[in-house]
Amino acid sequence: DPWRVLVPAGLSVILLVSPWLAKGNPKSPYTLVHDVLSQLTGKFALYLFGFTGLLGFCLAWFPFFVNSSLLSDGGLLGWLEVMCYGGGVFCLWKVQQVTALGERSFQGWTWLGCILFLGALSLWILKWDEVVYGGSAGIGGGVSSWDWPRLLSKGIHVLLSALAVGGLVVILLGAISWTKGKKEGNEHLKRRQQEEECRIQVVRFGMAWVLGGVVPQVVVGSWLMVALGEDVRNHFLNGLTLGSFIFFSSLLLALLGLVLINAAFIAPQVKGLVWGGWTSILCAIFLMGFIRYDTLGVAVASWQTEGIWFPLSVWHLLLSVLPLVALLAFLLKALSSALIFHGEKPTE
């Protein structure tokens, strides 16, 4: 379920920023990023929405799935989230049409889509906070009943995670782009050098988003840990539980990823650093998904951690591996089409 809101929110922000960096240059690498994301984001968001809904419906029928109604009972906040999400998909469908016509200067639909996806992200956070701490997904007793330090820390944490996820997609775009159709011979040397420069700029662009999303988590993550309460802190910091092991493993992977991403930012031509940093950050975010579900078991007194760990872990695994494979397929298809919009490959 987190991927459904993280990926569209992060990519829509990057989609909004990339034309400003391109400065109207159709040969700019940022134009390529915009053209690919304009095709990818809306379609992939719709795919994630349908996939998570279908998977949640199927898993709810399994006897081991505990309190499955909490995953489907969205209440008013859930309906508002769906409306924002659907509106964001529609706006990015319009962006795709505008981009296909070669009109990249109009940003109205992109702005609206970005706002709606960020709105869906905010409502998703509020909905789950009500489920965990209020017992329902309605609007509880009003705004005054919400714990604002917990909500703010959680909101900033999730928003930064969305930016990091979007950066990972852009790095993937740069790593797989300009790899087809390379010919040997001295006459093609200059073209290959220009393609490599374009790839490096795209990869660095993605790295900047990853660093911007992960580095502040040192402060925001600590704030969130304090805001979640003593029971959650003790559960993850005692070093004796499986959740504690996964928590510290994710922190070590995030630290390793930051080291490799920083090194790759200086030397992006070293693909081992790029892929090593990309994989480490992705695995850290993946493990944090397990931490989220374990936190639910600790925070909600009526749930037992042992009772929800396995079914929700299966849920998280399916919602991580299968969409990642689909993302790669979407990206390859969108990249091939975007090269048509992008015109010829970069030249002097």
Is 189's pLDDT higher than 90?
no
Average pLDDT taken over every residue of the chain: 77
What is the mean predicted confidence (pLDDT) over 190-203? 77
Q: Which residue has the higher pLDDT, 336 or 344?
A: 336
**pLDDT (tens digit per residue) in 112-148:** 999 999 999 998 888 877 767 665 444 444 444 567 7
- Tell me which of 275 and 26 has the higher pLDDT: 275
How many of the other CB atoms lie within 10 Å of CB of 98?
A: 18
* pLDDT tens string 310-320: 555 666 666 66
Q: What is the mean pLDDT of residues 11-23?
A: 88
Answer yes or no: is pLDDT of 304 > 60.
Answer: no
The separation between CA 292 and the C-alpha centre of its own chain, rounded to angstroms, equals: 15
Listed in sequence order, the residues at least 6 apart from 249 whose beta carbon sits closer than 8 Å to its beta carbon are: 287
What percent of the chain stands above pLDDT 70? 68
pTM for the structure as a whole: 0.81
Q: How many CB atoms lie within 10 A of CB 123?
A: 22
Length in residues, the chain = 348
* 76-110 pLDDT tens trace: 777 888 899 999 999 988 888 877 666 655 678 88
What confidence score (pLDDT) does residue 138 get?
45
| pLDDT band with cut points at 50, 70 and 90 for residue 334 | low
- The answer for residues whose C-beta is within 8 angstroms of residue 325's C-beta and 6 or more apart is none
What's the confidence (pLDDT) of residue 142? 43
Q: How confident is the model at residue 28 (pLDDT cuts 50, 70, 90)?
A: confident
Is the pLDDT higher at 26 or at 227? 227
CA distance 128 to 132: 6
In Å, the largest CA–CA distance within the chain is: 72
Q: What is the pLDDT of residue 72?
A: 47
Domain boundaries, the chain: 2-342
**Higher-confidence position of 189 and 126:** 126
Say which residue, 179 or 235, is predicted with more confidence.
Answer: 235
SS (H, E, C) the chain: CHHHHHHHHHHHHHHHHHHHHHCCCCCCHHHHHHHHHHHHHHHHHHHHHHHHHHHHHHHCCCCCCCCCHHHHCCHHHHHHHHHHHHHHHHHHHHHHHHHHCCCCCCCHHHHHHHHHHHHHHHHHHHHHHHHHHCCCCCCCCCHHHCCHHHHHHHHHHHHHHHHHHHHHHHHHHHHHCCCCCCCCCHHHHHHHHHHHHHHHHHHHHHHHHHHHHHCCHHHHHHHHHHHCCHHHHHHHHCCCCHHHHHHHHHHHHHHHHHHHHHHHHHCCCCHHHHHHHHHHHHHHHHHHHHHHHHHHHHHCCCCCHHHHHHHHHHHHHHHHHHHHHHHHHHHHHHHHHHHHHHCCCCCC
φ, ψ for residue 183, nearest 5 deg:
-115, 155
Residue percentage of the chain with pLDDT more than 90: 22
